[in-house]
């Protein structure tokens, strides 16, 4: 029966990747980790204060699992803790719900709009698309035409259609539920940022010379 | 004479090899064919898609070097233009994605939610630029 006794003492912790809190909030263990523990201590574990968000914290705080283990073993001497998953949690302090300003958004929108219009025109000029299109018109119909609109207008519409198809925004529900490349790219970028702050905002991850 | 012919043929072959390899490498890096198979769930047909690219390239070579004339109705040009446009659109979308422009831009200006709107700005910009160029710009 000793095996059962050993198992009962173990506390399993799985840190969450990212937690959003308000300024001046108290972060308790339940917010930042999933816990499996013996029934008699699980409630007090869940409400254990890990961090108080203060003004100096700015917008990102990294809580290392070592700090959590330290706090728990302070209270429960000899507790056996098993950690699973991420070794730290990113606490993101949300100061105020920032709305997107409309003029700013319109500025960016028209920047992208005219930027891509100019870029595609330069591309067409660069690859001499006009002469290629006139040649295609001649090959297909046998006539010469300096304004082959019948080719050019479908081409222009297809251009936009191809971009939408690639990013799969219109047909997402109909064709399949896989994430679009853009969503994967957003995720990867966020992951890279998280990795950066995990290492650079965590004082424990560096040991420098002359570090007082 | 025979040496000259062989040498010219060799240079032409080498040039073709370099351009063809470059074309396929470019397509592979941008990942358009995997993207299309993923959208249509036709992974098993991927070899046919390879041959479609190769025979399309060869047809393009024949058309540009030999100037054939088919004498078909001009309406045949509509699907051709549409297909060409979709292809170039996918190329430019893939290029934008490789360069990671949109995620960084959206994040910088705090518009993670409105990324579709930003995408639409680029899409409409491309359509507008293209139509403007063909209908007005090149004739003035």
Minimum Cα–Cα distance from A164: chain B residue: B123
Distance of residue A87 Cα from the nearest chain B Cα, in angstroms: 26
Both tokens assigned to A150: 């019948």
- Pairing relation of β-strands A10-15 and A80-84? parallel
Q: Which of B72, B89, B133 sits opposite A124 (nearest CB)?
A: B133
Residue B72 CB contacts under 8 Å (≥ 6 apart), including other chains: A140, A141
Distance of residue B89 Cα from the nearest chain A Cα, in angstroms: 4
Distance of residue B109 Cα from the nearest chain A Cα, in angstroms: 9
What ipTM, to 2 d.p.? 0.81
pLDDT, residue A2, reads 47
pLDDT, residue B9, reads 93
Instruction: Strand A80-84: give its sheet, edge to edge.
Output: A33-36, A10-15, A80-84
Distance of CA A115 to the CA centre of its chain: 26
Three-state SS for A102-133 is: HHHHHHHHHHHHHHHHHHHHHHHHHCCHHHHH
Q: Are B119 and A185 in contact (CB under 8 A)?
A: no
Each residue's pLDDT tens digit, B74-100: 888 999 999 999 999 999 888 887 777
Neighbours of B63 (CB within 10 A): 16
Hey, which residues does A13 pair with through a beta bridge?
A: A35, A83
Cα B42 from Cα B44, distance rounded (Å): 5
DSSP assignment, residue A212?
A: -
Computed from CA positions of residues B72, A120, A111, B110, in that sequence, does the dihedral angle turn out positive or negative?
positive
Q: Which residues of B touch A141 (CB under 8 A)?
A: 70-74, 76-77
Minimum Cα–Cα distance from A113: chain B residue: B125
Q: Report, as an integer, the average pLDDT of A103-121.
A: 89
Residue whose structure tokens are 């993923």? B38
Per domain, the residue ranges of chain A are 2-93, 102-200
Q: Do A115 and B125 touch (CB under 8 A)?
A: yes
pLDDT, residue A175, reads 55
Each residue's pLDDT tens digit, A132-178: 888 888 888 888 888 888 899 999 999 998 888 887 755 555 556 67
Q: Report, as an integer, the average pLDDT of A84-113.
A: 82
Residue A116 CB contacts under 8 Å (≥ 6 apart), including other chains: B121, B122, B125, B126, B129
Fold of A2-93: eubacterium ventriosum atcc fold (2.60.480)
Cα B10 from Cα B140, distance rounded (Å): 44
Residues 20-59 of B with CB under 8 A from A: 32, 35, 38-41
Confidence grade of residue A190 (pLDDT, cut at 50, 70, 90) = confident
Q: Report, as an integer, the average pLDDT of B11-16.
A: 94
Q: Which of B69, B80, B131 sits opposite A156 (nearest CB)?
A: B131
């Amino acid at each position: 029966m000793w095996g059962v006794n050993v198992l009962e003492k173990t506390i399993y912790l799985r840190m969450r990747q990212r937690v959003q809190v308000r300024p001046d909030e108290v972060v308790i263990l339940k917010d930042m980790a999933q816990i499996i523990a013996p029934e008699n201590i699980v409630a007090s574990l869940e409400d254990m204060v890990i961090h108080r968000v203060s003004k100096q914290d700015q917008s990102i705080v990294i809580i290392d699992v070592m700090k959590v283990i330290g706090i728990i073993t302070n209270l429960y001497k000899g507790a056996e803790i098993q950690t699973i998953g991420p070794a730290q949690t990113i606490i993101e302090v949300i100061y105020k719900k920032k709305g997107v300003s409309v003029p700013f958004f319109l500025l960016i929108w028209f920047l992208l709009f005219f930027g891509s219009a100019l870029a595609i025109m330069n591309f067409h000029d660069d690859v001499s698309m006009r002469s290629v299109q006139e040649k295609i018109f001649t090959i297909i119909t046998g006539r010469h035409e300096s304004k082959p609109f019948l080719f050019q207008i479908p081409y222009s519409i297809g251009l936009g259609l191809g971009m939408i198809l690639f990013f799969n925004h219109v047909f997402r529900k109909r064709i399949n539920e896989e994430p679009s490349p853009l969503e994967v790219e957003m995720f990867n970028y966020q992951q890279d940022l998280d990795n950066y702050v995990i290492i650079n905002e965590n004082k424990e991850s560096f040991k420098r010379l002359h570090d007082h | 004479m025979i040496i000259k012919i062989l040498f010219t043929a060799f240079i032409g072959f080498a040039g073709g090899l370099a351009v063809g390899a470059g074309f396929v490498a470019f397509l592979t890096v941008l990942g358009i064919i995997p993207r299309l198979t993923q959208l249509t769930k036709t992974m098993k047909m991927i070899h046919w898609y390879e041959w479609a690219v190769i025979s399309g390239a060869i047809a393009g070579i024949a058309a540009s070097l030999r100037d054939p004339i088919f004498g078909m109705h001009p309406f045949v040009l509509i699907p051709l233009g549409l297909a060409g446009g979709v292809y170039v659109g996918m190329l430019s979308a893939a290029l934008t994605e490789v360069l990671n422009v949109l995620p960084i831009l959206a994040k910088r200006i705090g518009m993670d939610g409105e990324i579709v709107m930003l995408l639409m700005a680029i899409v409409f910009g491309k359509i507008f630029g293209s139509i403007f160029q063909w209908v007005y710009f090149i004739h003035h």
